[in-house]
Amino acid sequence: MKGRDYCVVPTVDPPGSASASPLSPSSPAAVPKKKMPQRKWEVHPGRNKFHCNGRIMMARQTGIFYFTVALIVVTCGLFFGFDCPYLAVNLTPAIPVIGIVLFVFTMSTLLRTSFSDPGVIPRATPDEAADIERQIEVPNGQPSPSYRPPPRQKEVVVNGQTIKLKYCFTCKIFRPPRASHCSICDNCVERFDHHCPWVGNCVGKRNYRYFYMFILSLALLCVFLFACVITHIIMRSQKANFLKAMQQSPASVLEAVVCFFSVWSILGLAGFHTYLTTSNQTTNEDIKGSWSSKRGRDNYNPYSQGGIVKNCFAVLCGPTTPSLLDRRGLVEPDPTPQQYTMQMNGTGVRLGNYGAIPTQTTTVQPPAQPQQGEEGDQTESRIWFTEDMKEKA
């Protein structure tokens, strides 16, 4: 009998067998724990804070926002507790109703401004960023570590006015018209107005109308409280002297001081944003003088609708655009490396991509001389190939 060549085919031990590997797929230790899918707000690259599973979006620095809320709530609470009962009985019961309506509307617009996406533009994907970076030429060959390419610009025409689109090196995108990068939140924001620490958020395309209504309603609330507090003190002083009237209602004095020092700045801010709304401008554009006639006779605001009423309707009554972030969407997992399993068929070994690699137990033994009557009784875990199938032992 001639010598036989052989090859060893690895076999997979059945689950529960004594020779099964402790790291076999049937073993509990080998079963990988499933990771909870991440939401996109959890991996957001900007400096923002999210609450309620991504439904609430704010800036990371929110200390002044909480001070704003506390100042409004405490002042109105003192008013409803000490001034309203007296004025409702001695003047008119409509005062508490007006105060409640103004307070609820002011707080609603404040929270709507603070908790919403101002219009953040998503950053470019790695493929998009790489494609744009390839267009940026590096002078003199090799770039130095401190080298920063000059800002690239594109030009578009909006209503006959040429607008330059600047390239954002942080977000790796060409910013659309009226957009700007907020250095505090580290995001590019559509129709960026400014970053307001008092509301704890940026003010942009998606929340400017709520910010303007908050400023306007806060100004009305402040004037209303100041007028009611002064009226309360004067009505009490008619029955007694002025000092005794202040002693009888010390909370009214505190409210009057807070409203007096707040009303001027709030009224000025409301008037300034009324001017911006009627001219369809942003704070950023007004400060930079983007549409000022000083830049040339042909320089004008291409976004103006041609009238005060039309501009107000365009800014305050236009449709609210959906958020571009998809904050609560699931993050797509990165593709895993190609994994293979070994499958045996009737002729040999075949590799297949099935996403898992079971543990194989391979036994290598030298060829044994078959005894008489045991020629066809071979071990199931080995496949014997005869060099010359026509010869017999």
Q: What is the DSSP letter of 166?
A: E
Q: What is the DSSP letter of 336?
A: P
Annotated catalytic residue 196:
yes
> CA 212 to CA 189: how far, in whole Å?
17
> CA 233 to CA 227: how far, in whole Å?
10
> CA 12 to CA 14: how far, in whole Å?
6
**Which candidate, 125, 115, 120, 116, places its Cα nearest to that of 180?**
120
Which candidate in 182, 196, 202, 259 is catalytic? 196
Token pair recorded at residue 87:
């004025």
The radius of gyration of the chain's CA atoms, rounded to the nearest angstrom, is 37
Token pair recorded at residue 165:
């689109």
CB 233 within 8 A of CB 90: no
> CA 120 to CA 232: how far, in whole Å?
46
Residues taking part in catalysis: 196
